[in-house]
Amino acid sequence: MSGTKLIISIAKELLLLVRDRAGMALLFVMPAFLVIVITLIQDKVTTTSVNVLFVDIDRGEVGAEIRGLFKRIDTIHLIETLNGEQLSADQAQVLVAASKFQFAVVLPQGLSEATSEAARLTATKNLFPDRREPAGPAVPEILVWFDPTVHGSFRAAVRSALDQVVVGVETRLLVEKSLALLPEKLTADLPPALLQAMPRPVLNAKDLLPQLFGNMTLIPVREQFSTAMGFIKQPTAVQQNVPAWAIFGIFFIVVPLAGSLIKERESGTLMRLKVFPVSYLTIIAGKILAYALVCVIQFAVILLAGMFILPLFGLAAFEPGGQPLPFALMMLSVIAAACGYGVLLGTVGRTYEQIAVFAPVSIVIGAALGGIMVPIYALPDFMRPICLLSPLYWGQSGFYDLLLRAGDLRSILPEAASLLAFGMVTTMAAYLFSTKKSRRP
């Protein structure tokens, strides 16, 4: 491969790219725009609370308690009035059916009374198994309306919050009713002498309830992020999304790169160059290096957008970390893989139309499998081994090692090596495909 011819090829590619100003602007702006939009969306999805219509027909203590417990959950925001008027169950149903709201919780009439009686009966049955009590009223169901367009994970989150609230109310009621019956139980079961020696609060156990439930949290939970390198800062949506979607954006270089190869083939310039004393590898390498340079600039634009534009929207600034060498290695490895894939598609693809459809779709599939759209741990078991084959996964995993798991050069080597190998294999496959085909009738 001649160095001079390679440099001339790179210069020609860059000149062609620069002349297409609109194309260049799109190449640089669109990936950065994508990262900003996706990060904003992801951040808001994880931090914004879900609006839930709350209709309390019961108007009793259970409703008040459920309302109170819901208000402790940050991700749920209860709406009880609309335009200053109390919501009815029918209104809530209509609003959810019209997709104006996604959830509605309706507490039916008599809920407090029936639940309280059910708790009392359960406590009585537990403390006085031989006592016969008439059956209480059936506890009416709490009704939850869901918009059919709501995704399963959101529905599960709301349902989980409701279950948590209901369990809290049930527990409180059972304890309250049991404590109320405790003096009677003690009087019945203990000898009078022992009973007289007991402290007064035990005999009025019901009074203990506010003390018992004054602090509901018995077992504290602490979040900490597990990494091989010890404790790290709390990861933000920005820190997770910027590298992931940057990889996705960078991979879209496949479309113009493959497209330029196909256009050259269609115009006859590629065929003409085959009559020149220059190897096809030089031509491919010239293209790859020129587009790789574009990718480096794209990456820089995306990172700068993460560092300086996202904070303007109230998000945390992206922190590229303090390891420029491993970061650069990961970036170049991703670019090598994307360019190799682009050259292969441009060589194997017959028409620009084929590539214009196949390339983006294949990248989206790679991103979906690679955990960029949905985390791999959320995918079904049978799909996970397939996910490990996606170069976008390797890229994301390497950047996460660096930016979220406090990894170093050694920890990203497997991912970087996989990406570089993918780039080399696809480039060589393109070269072999082209040379094999070129002189064969």
Partner 1 sequence: MTDNHSLLIAGDLFLTYAESDAPALNGISLTLCPGELCGLIGPNGAGKTTLLSVFTTLLRPQRGSLSIAGIDALDNPAAVRGKIGFVPQDLALYDRLTGLENLGYFGRMYGLPRQQLKEKAKYYLEMFGLYDKRNRQVAAYSGGMKRRINLIIGIIHDPGLLFLDEPTVGIDAQSRHMILEKLAALNHEQMAMIYTSHYLEEVQSLCRRVVIIDEGRIIAEDTPQNLIAQAEGCGSLAEFFLKKTGEQLRE
Q: Does 278 bind partner 1 (CB under 8 A)?
A: yes
Q: Which two tokens stand for residue 193?
A: 């002498």
Among 34, 273, 289, 296, binds partner 1 (CB under 8 A): 273
Among 225, 276, 313, 433, binds partner 1 (CB under 8 A): 276
Q: Which is nearer to partner 1, 105 or 261 (CB)?
A: 261
Q: Which is nearer to partner 1, 166 or 289 (CB)?
A: 289
Q: Does 432 bind partner 1 (CB under 8 A)?
A: no
Q: Does 77 bind partner 1 (CB under 8 A)?
A: no
Q: Which is nearer to partner 1, 4 or 196 (CB)?
A: 4
Q: How far is the CB of 379 from partner 1 (least distance, A)?
A: 43
User: For the chain, what is the HEC assignment?
Assistant: CCHHHHHHHHHHHHHHHHHCHHHHHHHHHHHHHHHHHHHHHHHHHHHCCEEEEEEECCCCHHHHHHHHHHHCCCCEEEECEECCEECCHHHHHHHHHCCCCCEEEEECCCHHHHHHHHHHHHHHHHHCCCCCCCCCCCCCCCEEEECCCCCHHHHHHHHHHHHHHHHHHHHHHHHHHHHHHHHHHHHHHCCHHHHHHCCHHHHCHHHHHHHHHHCCCCCCCCCCCCCCCCCCCCCCHHHHHHHHHHHHHHHCCHHHHHHHHHHHHHHCHHHHHCCCCCCHHHHHHHHHHHHHHHHHHHHHHHHHHHHHHHHHHCCCCCCCCCCHHHHHHHHHHHHHHHHHHHHHHHHHCCCHHHHHHHHHHHHHHHHHHCCCCCCHHHCCHHHHHHHCCCHHHHHHHHHHHHHCCCCCHHHHHHHHHHHHHHHHHHHHHHHHHHHHHHCCC
Q: Does 49 bind partner 1 (CB under 8 A)?
A: no
Q: Does 1 bind partner 1 (CB under 8 A)?
A: no
Among 212, 216, 271, 304, binds partner 1 (CB under 8 A): 271
Q: How far is the CB of 296 from partner 1 (least distance, A)?
A: 22
Q: Does 5 bind partner 1 (CB under 8 A)?
A: yes
Q: Which is nearer to partner 1, 286 or 391 (CB)?
A: 286
CA distance 391 to 369: 10
Q: How far is the CB of 301 from partner 1 (least distance, A)?
A: 23
Among 272, 351, 389, 432, binds partner 1 (CB under 8 A): 272
> What residues between 7 and 46 interact with partner 1 by CB under 8 A?
8-9, 12, 15-16, 19-20
Query: Considering only 68-76, 161-169, 179-187, 273-281, which stretch makes contact with partner 1 by CB under 8 A?
Result: 273-281
Q: How far is the CB of 274 from partner 1 (least distance, A)?
A: 6
Q: How many residues bind partner 1 (CB under 8 A)?
A: 26
Q: How far is the CB of 356 from partner 1 (least distance, A)?
A: 19
Q: Which is nearer to partner 1, 12 or 77 (CB)?
A: 12
Q: Which is nearer to partner 1, 236 or 282 (CB)?
A: 282
Q: Which is nearer to partner 1, 86 or 269 (CB)?
A: 269
Q: Does 269 bind partner 1 (CB under 8 A)?
A: yes
Interacting residues of 11 by C-beta distance below 8 A, sequence separation 6+: none
Q: Does 129 bind partner 1 (CB under 8 A)?
A: no
Q: Which residues bind partner 1 (CB under 8 A)?
A: 2, 4-5, 8-9, 12, 15-16, 19-20, 267-269, 271-279, 438-441
